[in-house]
Amino acid sequence: MSPMLKLLLTEKIVAILRGIEDRHADRTAEALLAGGIRLLEVTMNTDGAAAIIERWRSKYGGQAAIGAGTVLDMDMAREAVAAGAQFLISPNLDEAVVAYGAAQGVSVWPGVMTPTEIVRAWKSGAEAVKIFPVASLGYKYLAELRGPLNDIPMMATGGVDLHNIADYFRAGANAVGMGSKLVNLEWVRDGRFDLIEERARGFVEAVAEL
């Protein structure tokens, strides 16, 4: 088991920062860190994503793992790894990206939905998979997948909130990806980083009890 997969399975939460403005990025990261989040994902469709990843590796590398999200293809994967991303997360499965990550020593957790895609990702070398979009089908779908696919680490992304997070873990999720339910961009724009920290702590405490 790689150190990054071990961190994912231990911490259980990946904070997804999509569309964060660079001027707010560092204070948002610091609020998440103060709340106990240890995996930070900057999506590659965020303006200046590579620069944020590179800066965060330097500033916060001792406190958290910094990764790239929405890594759709090899070009994005190369850009993210060059910036210092320690893990790559995608909404899709691209076997070339999985192989590239393995060659670079960078964990890749691709997005999949069906049993066929999950097994294909696993056989291509993915250490874990991201079940996406899980919001539409819910945690009961995850529980059904777990029956025949009980050995593959799964991260549920989309639709997870404080009210149902325990249901997702009971259904078999090993981790969750949290976007707007954790990183509320209105709070960020309003400078309410105390609310970001409080929300982060609430999710961290929720998974600690599971």
One of 11, 41, 127, 197 is an active-site residue; which one?
A: 41
One of 11, 12, 127, 130 is an active-site residue; which one?
A: 130
- The verdict on whether 130 is a catalytic residue reads yes
Q: Quick one: three-class SS letters along the chain? A: CCHHHHHHHHHCEEEEECCCCHHHHHHHHHHHHHCCCCEEEEECCCCCHHHHHHHHHHHHCCCCEEEEECCCCHHHHHHHHHHCCCEEECCCCCHHHHHHHHHHCCEEECEECCHHHHHHHHHCCCCCEEECCCCCCCHHHHHHHHCCCCCCCEEEECCCCCCCHHHHHHCCCCEEEECCCCCCHHHHHCCCHHHHHHHHHHHHHHHHCC
What residues are annotated to the active site?
A: 41, 130
